[in-house]
Each structure stands twice: as structure tokens, then as C-alpha cells.
């Protein structure tokens, strides 16, 4: 399947790049730019889906992730209300899409070049919006720069060093301590639909990268990843409990719950059933909540969780969808997140009891801060800042409804729809004597 995509890689990558370039024609017309963005994402998806329809080979994890990224891109653009930041945010979004697809479908070390491009584009985007007064730490920018250097070094150094060099940028886009700052800034400082889209794109790229690296990571490094993942899950949960910004709470929540998957894959040294729907479910939940946050911010400005209450009185439609997203986050059986988590744990033949207790503690904290977020935002006496205003527009409603439908679909999908393991991951290499680029070959 991915071989067919690789043959059309240039065409698939060219569509969003060309769309971003031609979209400058509509720079002064945000509504037209939004329509153009939807058309470009649809055309890109058709370019990916056409080879799949003409092939009988099984779906791979990478192909499933590409479909997930493109469908999320469509939904985040659909739910975005055009404003003065629409052109720059959608242009960046199309560029991120092209680079992400390039990383997924390009064989050899060229994948590292595309991931370097994503990190570089994040630096430019964060610097631009830092100049507009948004809070972006220099530490986050430094992390991204180190990630680029690490990727470029990985192209020329021998395999043992190269594998360790590749782990760092993967921990940046799929956040672990101590390099989570770049991911948090990406979800809290960028405009428009970008944070919601990056909440799916970045972890998806990190997951794809680690599935390719997993067979050749040394035992000592896997043990270290387990320890760091446990620490990241606890750290992210504690910070999520203490945030007064909804976006930062969601960023740290995704870090905490995503670190569980890092821990599981490092412990089992495999991509077991349940891992892909868990990643997809977590990414979609955070994406939907970030969309809701953006829709609130568009109407009322920055949302302070300690001072803003009673939104259910003003926006009942948004409140209903918000409650459904929260129930998906805390494990309502109708949605896929908690069921995938339980599937992963039940497949473990043995595990450190201490690690399990800490993982359950992370879930316990998630079951506290997600309902508390719902209570703070929706219920109580309406805050004075919440003046009577419009509820969700039709496109905003449709975007969140389709996202919830996608979450439900993940629960009932047959397991083979989530993709078989890519060929590069099916055979575990006994040593580091692998070809240059062999890790990355899809």
C-alpha cells in the first residue's frame, strides 16, 4: 500500500504546497481562503485514497495515520470562522500537511529532512506570533532548533548514534520530558485552526517514527524511555491540574495521556492492537476540545478558567458538544479512548506493579481535571464577560458533530482498518547493522 503511495509521493506532496501558493490569491478574502483550503485538503485526500482503491494490499499504520491527519485537517478548517488570521493560519496548515505527508511517504533519510522542515516551520510560526505579543518561550524555540540539528546529524552518523539522535525529535513532536515545551507552545500560541490540527499531526508523526525505530532501539534506551514516559505522564497530569488556561491544560493532558503510549510501546517493544485507536482517540478528543476553545475565544477573548463560568446559559449547542467531548476523554464506552487503553493493559502478560500504579494514578487525575474543566467553563453563575451572543454556526456545529462521529466510528471499526504493521517494523533486526535509511523505509 505504501509502495503505491511512494510512487505518487511527489504528486501527493505537491497538492498542499501548490494549494498554499495559489491560496495567496485569496489573501484578502478569508472566506474564500477557507473554501480553498477545504478543496485543497479534499484533493490531497483523493490523491492518497486513489492508489488505495486500486490496490488489494492491506492498510498500513502509516496510511491510516495519513487518513486521520487529512480528515482532521478538513474538520478543523470546516469549524474555523474566517477572520483576519485565516490566510496565514490556513497557509501554514497546508504547508504542515505537505511536509507531514512527505515525512510519511518518503523512503530513506529524506524523511528526516521533511521532519526538519516541520520543526523549522514551527520556529518561524512561533517567532511571528511572538512578535504579535503572544507568549512563546525561547526555550521552546531552542528545543525545536536542537531537534533540527539532531535530525540533520542523524543523516550522516553511524547507526547506534543515529537511532538515539532520531529519538529526540520524536520526543519533541510526541512530547516527553524535558522537551515538551515546543509541543505546548504549538498548541497554545498559534492562531486559528492550527493548534487543533497540530494536536493530531505532531503526535501522529511521532508515533509513525517510533514504530519504525522500535525494532532497533537498544534495551537500555527502551528502559530509559519507560522511565521518562512515566515521569512525563505524572508531570503532565500535575501541570494540567494547575492550569488557568484551557489550551495549556489540554496540551499537558495530551502530553500525560500520550506518555502512557510511549511507556506501553517501550515496555512491550511492539505496536500492539489498541495502540493506534488509542492514539487516534486521544488526538481527536484534544483536537475537538481545542476547537471548542478557539470558538469560545473568537467570541469572548482569552478564557481564564478561574474567572469564566456559566457558558451553558449562553451557548447551549456548544455546551452539549463540549460535554460529549469530555465524556469521550474520561472513558465513556461509546468512545474509543478508554476502551483502547484497557485493551492495551489486558494484553500485557507481565508488567511492573509500580509502573501500573502510576499509570492508573495518571488516569485518576485525568478523571479529575477533565470534569473540572467542564464544570468551570459551562456551569455556575454566568460570568459578566459572557454577554448574550451567537451560539455555534452551522459549519462549527457540523465540524464537532463529525469529529464525534469519527470517535464513535473508531470504536466499532474492525481492527484491520487501523492498519497492519509497516514492513519496516515487521522484522526485528538483531543488531545495528542496517542500511542507511532502512529504518525510515515505509
pLDDT mean values, one per 10 residues, the chain (442 residues): 57 88 89 93 87 66 89 93 88 94 81 91 87 64 92 83 88 92 90 93 93 85 90 91 88 92 86 84 93 85 71 84 89 70 73 78 85 83 65 88 90 63 41 34 34
In a domain, 436, yes or no: no
**Helix locations, 275-393, DSSP H:** 275-300, 316-329, 337-346, 353-378
DSSP class of 60: B
| pLDDT, tens digit (0-9, with 9 covering 90-100), for 271-317 | 877 888 889 999 999 999 999 988 888 877 777 776 666 787 788 88
In a domain, 431, yes or no: no
Q: What is the DSSP string of 94-146?
A: HHHHHHHHHHHH--TTHHHHHHHHHHHHHHHHHHHHHHTT----HHHHHHHHH
In a domain, 117, yes or no: yes
- Phi, psi values for residue 304, rounded to 5°: -95, 115
In a domain, 413, yes or no: yes
Q: How many structural domains does the chain have?
A: 1
Per DSSP, what are the bridge partners of residue 304? Answer: 245
In terms of Cα–Cα distance, which of 171, 60, 169, 184 is closest to 115? 169
- Dist CA 418 CA 58 (whole Å): 10
In a domain, 437, yes or no: no
In a domain, 438, yes or no: no
Whole-number pLDDT of residue 440? 34
Cα 371 to Cα 182, 326, 337, 365, distances in angstroms: 27, 7, 16, 10
In a domain, 295, yes or no: yes
Whole-number pLDDT of residue 8? 66
Whole-number pLDDT of residue 136? 59
CB atoms within 10 A of CB 193: 30
CA angle 27, 141, 263 (to 5 degrees): 110
Which three cell numbers mark 400? 464537532
In terms of Cα–Cα distance, which of 331, 174, 197, 185 is closest to 256? 174
- Dist CA 189 CA 123 (whole Å): 12
**Which pTM was predicted?**
0.88
97: region left, alpha or beta (phi > 0 left; psi from -120 to 50 alpha): alpha
Domain region containing 24: 2-426
- Dist CA 250 CA 161 (whole Å): 34
Angle between helices 337-346 and 275-300 (to 10 degrees): 150
- Dist CA 260 CA 307 (whole Å): 32
Per DSSP, what are the bridge partners of residue 381? Answer: none
- Dist CA 231 CA 55 (whole Å): 43
In a domain, 440, yes or no: no
Maximum alpha-carbon separation in the chain: 66
Whole-number pLDDT of residue 433? 32
Q: Is 64 helix (H, G, I), strand (E, B) or coil?
A: helix
Whole-number pLDDT of residue 108? 66
Per DSSP, what are the bridge partners of residue 245? Answer: 304
Amino acid at each position: 500500500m505504501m509502495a503505491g503511495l511512494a510512487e505518487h509521493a511527489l504528486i501527493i506532496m505537491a497538492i498542499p504546497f501548490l494549494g498554499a501558493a495559489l491560496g495567496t490569491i485569496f489573501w484578502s478574502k478569508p472566506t474564500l481562503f477557507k473554501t480553498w483550503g477545504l478543496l485543497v485538503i479534499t484533493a490531497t485526500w483523493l490523491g492518497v485514497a486513489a492508489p488505495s482503491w486500486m490496490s488489494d494490499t492491506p492498510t498500513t499504520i502509516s496510511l491510516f495515520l495519513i487518513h486521520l491527519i487529512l480528515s482532521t485537517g478538513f474538520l478543523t478548517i470546516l469549524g474555523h470562522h474566517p477572520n483576519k488570521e485565516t490566510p496565514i493560519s490556513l497557509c501554514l496548515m497546508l504547508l504542515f500537511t505537505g511536509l507531514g505527508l512527505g515525512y510519511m511517504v518518503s523512503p530513506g533519510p529524506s524523511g528526516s529532512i521533511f521532519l526538519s522542515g516541520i520543526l523549522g516551520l514551527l520556529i518561524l510560526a512561533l517567532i511571528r506570533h511572538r512578535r504579535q505579543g503572544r507568549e512563546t518561550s525561547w526555550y521552546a524555540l531552542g528545543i525545536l532548533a536542537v531537534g533540527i540539528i539532531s535530525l540533520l546529524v542523524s543523516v550522516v552518523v553511524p547507526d547506534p548514534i543515529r537511532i538515539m539522535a532520531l529519538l529526540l525529535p520524536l520526543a519533541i513532536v510526541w512530547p516527553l520530558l524535558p522537551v515538551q515545551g515546543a509541543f505546548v507552545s504549538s498548541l497554545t500560541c498559534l492562531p486559528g485552526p492550527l493548534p487543533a490540527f497540530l494536536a493530531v499531526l505532531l503526535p501522529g508523526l511521532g508515533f509513525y517514527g517510533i514504530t519504525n525505530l522500535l525494532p532497533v532501539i537498544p534495551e537500555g534506551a527502551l528502559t530509559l524511555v519507560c522511565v521518562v514516559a512515566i515521569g512525563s505522564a505524572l508531570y503532565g497530569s500535575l501541570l494540567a491540574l494547575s492550569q488557568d488556561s484551557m489550551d495549556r491544560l489540554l496540551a499537558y493532558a495530551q502530553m500525560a495521556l500520550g506518555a502512557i503510549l510511549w511507556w506501553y510501546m517501550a515496555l512491550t517493544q511492539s505496536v500492539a492492537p489498541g495502540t493506534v485507536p488509542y492514539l487516534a482517540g486521544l488526538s481527536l478528543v484534544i483536537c475537538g476540545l481545542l476547537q471548542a476553545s478557539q470558538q469560545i475565544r473568537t467570541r469572548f477573548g482569552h478564557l481564564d478558567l478561574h474567572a469564566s463560568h456559566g457558558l451553558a446559559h449562553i451557548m447551549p449547542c456548544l455546551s452539549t458538544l463540549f460535554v460529549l467531548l469530555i465524556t469521550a476523554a474520561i472513558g465513556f464506552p461509546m468512545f474509543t479512548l478508554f476502551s483502547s487503553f484497557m485493551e492495551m493493559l489486558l494484553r500485557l502478560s507481565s508488567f511492573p506493579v509500580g509502573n501500573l500504579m502510576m499509570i492508573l494514578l495518571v488516569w485518576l487525575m485525568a478523571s479529575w481535571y477533565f470534569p473540572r474543566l467542564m464544570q468551570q467553563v459551562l456551569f455556575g453563575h454566568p460570568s459578566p464577560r459572557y454577554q448574550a451572543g451567537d451560539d455555534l454556526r452551522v459549519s462549527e456545529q457540523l465540524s464537532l458533530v463529525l469529529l464525534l462521529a469519527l470517535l464513535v466510528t473508531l470504536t466499532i471499526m474492525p481492527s484491520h482498518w487501523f492498519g497492519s504493521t509497516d514492513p519496516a517494523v515487521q522484522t526485528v533486526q538483531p543488531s545495528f547493522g542496517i542500511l542507511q535509511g532502512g529504518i525510515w523505509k515505509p
